[in-house]
Amino acid sequence: MRIAALKIRLYAPWVHSLKEKRMIVKSILAKIRNKFQVSAAEVEDQDVHQSVVIGVAAIVPHSAQADSMMDEIVRFVEQNTEAEIVAEEREIR
């Protein structure tokens, strides 16, 4: 059993209010949770309008599946938001 943790930092230059940011964050988090059956939340920069940091965690049977799942999640985020992915951090324990 392994724990996969993924942190994705997004930049959304068109966002000018926290209300606008919340709508984007809620939408992408719901899509990630529903499609991949993982835990997901905004983990940093909650008060910064144009920065979104999403944390994702899941329990997987082995490291290969963790890598594959994290790749799929990153691709899914790229396809389902206009925000640019500026960084990602991965950890498997």
pLDDT one-digit tens code per residue, 22-69: 998 999 999 999 999 999 999 988 888 899 999 999 999 988 888 999
Query: Which among 11, 52, 2 has a CA at the least distance from the CA of 32?
Result: 52
Tokens 């930092």 belong to which residue? 9
CATH (residue range 2-92): 3.30.70.1120
Query: How much is the pLDDT for 53?
Result: 95
Question: Residue 60: enclosing H or E segment and its boundaries?
Answer: strand 51-60
pTM of the model as a whole: 0.87
Query: How much is the pLDDT for 55?
Result: 96
**Each residue of 65-87: pLDDT tens digit?**
889 999 999 999 999 988 899 99
Confidence of residue 7 (pLDDT cuts 50, 70, 90): very high
Question: Residue ranges per domain, the chain?
Answer: 2-92
